[in-house]
Structure 1
């Protein structure tokens, strides 16, 4: 087991002595500012795009983005298998320079609770004043504001975020789409989907803020990197808040996510860990909203699809013909590049695997909405042969089948299952709705899996 401390620096002049709370920690310093006092690692990219539109976020929103970048560095570059005693729960300490350390320190317990829930680790967060030489990290625009968005919407390049953008545009909203990426596959789908939206809704000016936020594999001297990425939505939310704060006027951040994935009830005991993410869980989103309120940032998160399945989202899309035509160009898969080293060159191209949990939910949704699915999947026909549950090809299929079987035998378990991923204390009057979307989402996948055979080979 290895305890890690990430010390954030703001340029070469930031040489303030920082003493970690533990003497046995493995300490890493990361400079989040380049030589021109511009935030690095993709944050400056987002700020530059906002500035080009005549928009400037507050320094508090910038500090939130820097904190999120530090979280991302730790989450993606500290190995669970090598550095956690139980091969899952890491111990991580962050020390971040901010403009108002007293305010941030007062919110440290809330931040710790939020991150612990989100990633399943043990976090400690500490704040210190920025050095005087830094001043403001968000440069003042040199032009008048040219953007008039009415809402900010997360835009991952997946099917849900594409539906969310279509619905907003069709309703007369002017969304600013916010994306972050690290790999070229994600970037490609985000760019394509944004461009076809702009063409389809040519009468509305759609702004798309994109930031490539990530860290070199050697930024922390460890034996391996981490691919569970449980903390990614903290960064996603922070970038969206950066844009919303720059727009002002209590701008809402739309988080388009279907209710089944948002709850993400583990299908089996193994999924309580790496495979059961909490990126849009209601408890996590409520804590993030609480953090925004405490920071004085006048924006909030809102998931308009919290009580809809993915199939219901697709079927009710405001422009179903457009969605049906372009759905194949969205990316939902959790591992589209899983065959990049395949001996057969024809199998190396990134595409949906067709058998992971996001792919199965996607396939079920398209079947529900319009039946014919022209998305290219590696496993094109789930019924063509018996899927081996000892291999990845059949593991998630079997997990769904077992959960559906347990639910059929004991339907009342659903009202208990929905609490397994985390508390639903912020919405006590919506428990029946959470139960309903959970059951409906599983049944949707169940219809996809009728006739599919999966067993150990």
Structure 2
């Protein structure tokens, strides 16, 4: 699939057969897509002054997320892997042309698709505000409404940092994002942004590229801070437990593999290289790369606040499909439920649609993700965690392999305790 992405006045000769995507504006015709208008308006309204190449990175991310909606996996030759070509208008086309291959490799790892990037002049770079506001916070944290990001923000504030919380507004989570930010520490500065990406026709639901837009919002915020404008590097915290971050294939066929590689060290490492090449002084960090979700809960610095808010958080990969209830049976839900069990802090009253994992029917223990976890547990028992992992930690961007293997082994133990507690066979 080919897309041409840029402001409404951007034109590319010979692109009549491509999907045109209006960046930072509204579609001008029924067959056009669009993304980013509301986000740009909110950034301008807040009088923030991000770095020019942060705006370009956002243009790229908006183009990618729109393509992720528009390109259907079902029509690809293997029913999954897509070939996507993007022509994108940016303010610094010469520089981004040098990063086209690096971006394609990072996105290929994130989404398992084939990407081609071409960059053109004509991208948007809003004029600096007359009276810019430089937030005084010393770091940025992504606050999704999920349990891991809640723990991460709590720990940062409890540790004496002043995080600027950035949220990608998602239906069903927007209110809790605001509540979490207000209740952490003495209240966190908080910016909610929405990509509002739309494409005509049927929409792809897998959404493997969504983490790029979330991190790009974080980079926008980080380069707007006073600390950044003073010449310092700004940490951008992407808080996710190590088990979910590594995304281990639970079975040889990848049946039940997790839905995202948002904080996988290879993806973060590849993206960090692009950020560094762009001269953006933003450091991506996941402080929980070697912790299980249960360990994150047990070690959280403010147990009182966590006990009050944890069950309100969202972990489910199918949250919207179940009318904003967590299914209880997908892999992220199982990891969550295992973490609550390992924590023992409070009863898990999340209200799962499928509560009884051990029930022997197609909705509970017979569901693919429940079976795939059970298969993984059996494989680890018979072959050991090293053999089960295979090449999952083969990336040269992964440093502490021993620490990650130990963490994954502990994560498997948490899942084993969950299955035993519910009598999954």
TM-score by length of 1: 0.84
Deviations 1:289-320 (A, max 9, x none): 00001111111100000000000000000001
Alignment of 1:277-316 (within 5 A): 277-316=260-299
In structure 1, the residue matched to 2:30 is none
Structure 1 unaligned spans of 5+: 21-25, 341-349
In structure 2, the residue matched to 1:155 is 143
In structure 1, the residue matched to 2:224 is 246
From 2, 5, 8, the counterpart of 2:2: 5
From 98, 102, 107, the counterpart of 1:106: 98
Is it true that 1:380 corresponds to 2:355 in the alignment? yes
Is it true that 1:208 corresponds to 2:199 in the alignment? no
Question: Residue 246 of structure 1: CA displacement?
Answer: 1.4
TM-score by length of 2: 0.90
Instruction: Classify the secondary structure of the residue corresponding to 1:185.
Output: coil
Question: Residue 354 of structure 1: CA displacement?
Answer: 1.0
From 67, 86, 90, the counterpart of 1:94: 86
Alignment of 1:6-405 (within 5 A): 6-11=3-8, 13-17=9-13, 27-34=18-25, 43-82=36-75, 84-130=76-122, 136-137=125-126, 139-145=127-133, 147-182=135-170, 184-197=171-184, 201-202=185-186, 206-216=188-198, 219-221=199-201, 224-247=202-225, 248=228, 249-271=232-254, 275-340=258-323, 350-370=324-344, 372-383=347-358, 386-389=359-362, 394-405=367-378
In structure 1, the residue matched to 2:402 is 432
Structure 2 unaligned spans of 5+: 27-32
Deviations 1:2-28 (A, max 9, x none): xx11101212x32342559xxxxx510
Partners of 1:365 and 1:444 within 8 A in 2: yes
Aligned residues: 413
Question: What RMSD over aligned residues (CA atoms) do the two structures have, in Å?
Answer: 2.4
Partners of 1:253 and 1:299 within 8 A in 2: yes
Instruction: Classify the secondary structure of the residue corresponding to 1:252.
Output: strand
Partners of 2:104 and 2:116 within 8 A in 1: yes
Question: Residue 52 of structure 1: CA displacement?
Answer: 4.7
CA distance in 2: counterparts of 1:432 and 1:160, whole angstroms: 23
Partners of 1:97 and 1:129 within 8 A in 2: yes
Deviations 1:210-231 (A, max 9, x none): 1121333xx244xx32111111
Instruction: Classify the secondary structure of the residue corresponding to 2:107.
Output: helix
Question: Residue 326 of structure 1: CA displacement?
Answer: 0.9
Instruction: Classify the secondary structure of the residue corresponding to 2:372.
Output: helix
Instruction: Classify the secondary structure of the residue corresponding to 1:179.
Output: strand
Partners of 2:354 and 2:363 within 8 A in 1: no
Change (3 A) 1:351 1:154: same
CA distance in 2: counterparts of 1:220 and 1:421, whole angstroms: 37
Question: Residue 449 of structure 1: CA displacement?
Answer: 1.1
Partners of 2:250 and 2:256 within 8 A in 1: no
Bigger mean CA offset, 417-426 vs 313-322 = 417-426
Bigger mean CA offset, 273-282 vs 396-405 = 273-282
Question: Residue 114 of structure 1: CA displacement?
Answer: 0.8
Question: Residue 434 of structure 1: CA displacement?
Answer: 0.9
Question: Residue 162 of structure 1: CA displacement?
Answer: 0.2
CA distance in 1: counterparts of 2:418 and 2:289, whole angstroms: 22
Deviations 1:151-194 (A, max 9, x none): 10111100000000000111111111111134x21323323322
Change (3 A) 1:273 1:279: farther
